[in-house]
Structure 1
């Protein structure tokens, strides 16, 4: 029997079970979905769907393939109606600005004494590129686009500023937030709305490229909270404090969360559970229920840490592209990838994850939109379907009969009679063109 994916869009007040037969060619299997509608097991944000924009320049290449083109934050074409309409269709879409190079970005505010130049490929540098700079006129243009699109912006700050890299690869010293503070002040002075400030990218646990200890990161988070409170003291809507934006590590996250109970709003982690994009067996992995289920330990582990702590912080997936190093053309941007993506959305919700940020909105081989022309890839419609139909309350759901069918249930986003099941789909996708 082939892999079957089934998502329930249901609003119920009591127990409900559904029996059915699934068949393909000469194989068939009976199964039962059991939904406990008495009380939710999780509650997601109304704007659960999130996507990322990255800093990678066109010279970012993986395994000889350069898939980013002009999709980086410094060179993305913000004047395409197709791009604008794709974001507006969500009303709103959370967009996280960040990625590997964010910890090498300086902001060209009044305090900056360095030349404001773009990233340059240099294999001897950490992450393969030199330091880059965000000009304030580009920041103005980005915010103009976000305002027109109705996006909710999460900005990833450079957390390596002021640190040195020790011989063992660890980042030593406190975060120097001078340039970040100046950038935040510029942002507030311009009346740009930021939904959240996120500190650092993949520096927790063993890190990627380098790492910061949990104790130091907690101190840096407190510093971020302090400057946000100062800069936004006369602003009614204050942004969220978000960290650490890296891969889950039980000991590191436990210590960090215990030390940030008064300074942290959102704890973010990243997921690339399918391995490298160059893998020729990605399709088999995507359709293997044991591979899909393998990442549940990350969700449940972080959920348990938060539940057993005094923190009020919520869990988000801050970046998830499935296959790292830019994904795989004709796989992570094709229909088959929705089996991974929709399962991830369902599993994340099941463990009370509030927001899920897909890597990427555009860029690499895993974008919701095509890098060259902004045409939607299949997962764009998967994301939009979820956004329009799946309500905030997550219900306990189990399936018996075969491990090839995975099921998740939410109360419907639009209220329906409690005695009816709503199985819906987008029959007419929105027109996104000019």
Structure 2
């Protein structure tokens, strides 16, 4: 190892040790055997570099009526009805100093922003089986946006806001959406935010509209044009203001051809390429725990990380890769699984694996809401993964080191330079 890394300190992030322990107990009896292995860390060069505020979480739009498999797990978890006076919630966010919060989700492309110059009636989302995504269009009142920003300022959160990218388009029966993005309402909302001196770290265009899309899809070439429109809005509205917010897109599931077409043509108007991950399948899956504890299954997502990294490296864009939303199991996860200790085996491995492929930020679905929140939906008390996220945030430095493990497949190791210059584990040399 390079001595400079030892002097900085080094932290190992060892995943699946508990799984291996369980395997040993089952096969040999408690204390009936030992497991040996060798970890090798190449300390000469970093293979990736994450953001200092790598840990990110999401807040969603889902109203209380959002139910999956007979379970309604959103209650007061939408940022439209979240209890912003909760001291537990405030302290949970403040503990990260800062925590990136991505505000968005499925319903963001059905939202009207009730800015002063918008004359349309502001109505809430209503459940409807005939509507795309199961709800009618909804609205963000500006007084609620004001309340949210007061909370963000107190908590020190860094906000990424997902804009409605479907306005102005025609949605066809074959699932495609055509026409240019009508950005008037989004521009009005951005101008309102700047006028109120609200700090938005980044503006993201659309949610799961790329590739095959969820509900509908937009072609890569059209998305390039729409991203350029967002860039022009940011340039005009934030004129004389530095630093300007990031421009993020497309916030959907990775499709190699679509992402390559998009990034090859979006060379100057994009800061971050975001993608979503639900690699465990539906929350109703009875084999969810088996998947979480199966390293070979979890390895399947590595190709997504590596393919996106290679696309960005070969493209003229300077955009970085983020995981913009990852809940593991879609349709709100599964109670007593995705909000329990066992889920940390999926989550910690995801954080470490994505970092090893030069992902800069990882946004967990959700901070609160569904059965996969870092916080309990009703009490706002931390779930086990909250502590996993906080531990990562405080220990793992920006430089990611090439790490390998020789031994049982159910143990894997990752290493970063320590976040602080003095290591808790390594001797001073």
TM interval, short-chain normalised: over 0.9
State yes or no: 1:102 paired with 2:96.
no
* Counterparts of residues 7-156 of structure 1 (less than 5 Å): 11-12=5-6, 24=25, 25=30, 26-156=32-162
Q: How many angstroms does 1:421 deviate by?
A: 6.5
Shift of residue 234 of structure 1? 2.0
Change (3 A) 1:421 1:166: farther
| Structure-to-structure mapping, 1:183-222, within 5 angstroms | 183-222=189-228
Tell me the CA shift for residue 195 of structure 1. Answer: 0.2
Cα deviation, residue 418, structure 1: 12
The secondary structure found in structure 1 opposite 2:359 is: coil
Tell me, yes or no, if structure 1 residue 235 matches structure 2 residue 238. Answer: no
Helix, strand or coil for the counterpart of 1:41? strand
1:335 and 2:329 aligned: no
Contact kept, 8 Å, 1:200 with 1:243, in 2: the verdict is yes
Structure 1 or 2: more helix by fraction: 2
Q: CA deviation at 1:27?
A: 4.2
Unaligned runs of 5+ in 2: none
Is contact 1:11–1:416 with CA below 8 Å preserved after alignment?
A: no
Residue 28 (structure 1) shift: 3.3
- Partner Cα separation in structure 2 for residue 30 and residue 66 of structure 1: 45
Q: What secondary structure is seen at the aligned counterpart in 1 of 2:35?
A: strand
Contact 1:11–1:417 at 8 Å: present in 2 too?
Answer: no
Q: State the 1:64 CA deviation.
A: 0.8
Between the two proteins, the alignment pairs up a number of residues equal to 410
Supply the distance in 2 between the matched residues of 1:112 and 1:277 (Cα, whole angstroms).
Answer: 39
In structure 2, the CA distance between the partners of 1:40 and 1:372, relative to structure 1 (3 Å rule), is: same
CA distance in 2, matches of 1:419, 1:60: 46
Q: TM-score, normalised by structure 2?
A: 0.93
- Find the partner of 2:173 among 148, 152, 167: 167
Which of 327, 332, 335 does residue 321 from structure 1 map onto?
Answer: 327
TM-score by length of 1: 0.92
Q: Secondary structure, in 3 states, of the residue corresponding to 1:251?
A: helix
Compute the displacement of 1:402 (Å): 1.3
* Preserved contact between residue 57 and residue 119 of structure 1 (Cα < 8 Å): yes
- The aligned residue for residue 5 of structure 1 is none
* Aligned-partner Cα distance in 2 for 1:179–1:210: 21
Asked whether the 8 Å contact 1:13–1:37 carries over to 2, the reply is no
Q: Which residue of 1 aligns with 2:300?
A: 294
Distance (Å, rounded) in 2 between the aligned partners of 1:418 and 1:155:
37
Distance 1:166 1:371 in 2: 37
Aligned to 1:378: 384
Alpha-carbon distance in 2 for matches of 1:379, 1:392: 21
Aligned to 1:347: 353
| Residue of structure 1 equivalent to 2:262 | 256
**Helix, strand or coil for the counterpart of 1:187?**
helix
Residues 7, 421 of structure 2: 8 Å contact kept: no
The Cα shift of 1:152 comes to: 0.1
Paired residue for 1:244? Answer: 250
Distance in 2 of aligned mates of 1:139 and 1:417: 42
Distance 1:354 1:40, change over 3 A: same
1:410 to 397, 410, 416: 416
1:18-47 CA distances to partner (integer Å, 9 max, x unpaired)?
A: 9x9975433433211110000100000000
Alignment of 1:388-407 (within 5 A): 388-407=394-413
Separation (CA, whole Å) in 2 of partners of 1:348 and 1:360: 18
Tell me the residue number matched to 2:291.
285
Q: What is the deviation of 1:389?
A: 0.2
Cα distance in 2, alignment partners of residues 130 and 179 from structure 1: 18
Deviation at 1:406, TM superposition (A): 1.2
Cα distance in 1 for partners of 2:206, 2:334 equals: 26
